Amino acid sequence: MIRFVTETGSTNSDLAAQLRAGEAVAEGHWLVADRQLAGRGRQGRDWFDGSGNFMGSTIVRVSPRDPSPATLALVSGVAVYEAVASIMAEPHRLRLKWPNDLMLDGAKLAGILLERERDAIIVGIGVNLAAAPQLPDRRTVALAEIGVTPDRDTFARSLAECFDREVERWRTYGLEPLVRRWESVAHAFGTPLTVQPPGEDRIDGTFDGLGADGALSLRLADGSTRAIHAGDVMLVNQES
């Protein structure tokens, strides 16, 4: 079920409040807003609320039988990729950047924020359908800039279907096929990256795929690799 609202502070915050209040928010329920007044992105960034863009959140009820909840970042990235690729004539221009940013020709097209509330992971997704924000530290793009103008509500339904399908695969088959699928639509192995882990100096290296647990594998200048479980990742050549 998708619930559309004209305006709210944050769809993630709204779902979190419902969960804290003990309301029965079912898995598969989506809250989609025309406008967010207090949207949030990763690393505490503001979440752009351009009119005509997709801004919505859903939840996944996790259990001990499921793979690590953190890997829902990869699930979400693949789902967004699938929804956008299905409406593009040249989907090869899309690439995922760890853990779940969707890039178009090296510019950021979509972002995802995961937050935990009790037994649920709240997944907030923003996709630049009609307009992109101007950011000082990275390039951004909207689908409208390349002549793709999807209807927001139609896109929301497509994304919900893709998301449900990817969550089911995650539960049924585990991480190995998810990691392989994510790598198949990511930027190339050997892509130069800069990573800013929490509380550390930045690290330069190249993309060496994902570990079995979904962590980013960063190859360093001395030939060793480091597993990155959290941090801000930038594509060096594209500055995004």
Give pLDDT tens digits along the chain (240 positions): 999 999 998 999 999 999 999 998 999 999 999 988 865 544 444 455 677 999 999 999 999 999 999 999 999 999 999 999 999 999 999 999 999 899 999 999 999 999 999 899 999 999 999 999 888 778 999 999 999 999 999 999 999 999 999 999 999 999 999 999 999 999 999 999 999 999 999 999 999 999 999 999 999 999 999 999 999 999 986 544
Tokens of 212: 């079995």
- Identify the CA nearest to 111 among candidates 144, 86, 133: 133
Whole-angstrom CA distances from 235 to 47, 62, 86, 208, 238 are 20, 32, 25, 13, 6
Q: Has this prediction a pTM greater than 0.85?
A: yes
- Identify the CA nearest to 55 among candidates 155, 140, 136, 174: 155
What is the rounded distance in angstroms from the CA atom of residue 111 to the CA atom of residue 65?
Answer: 27
Q: What angle do CA 101, 98, 85 make, to 5 degrees?
A: 45
Residue 193 · residue 206 · CB < 8 Å: yes
pLDDT at 37: 81
pLDDT at 133: 85
CA neighbours closer than 13 Å in the CB half-sphere of residue 196: 6
- Identify the CA nearest to 238 among candidates 104, 107, 133: 107
Edge to edge, what strands does the sheet with 120-127 contain? 2-8, 30-36, 54-61, 120-127, 107-117, 101-104, 94-97
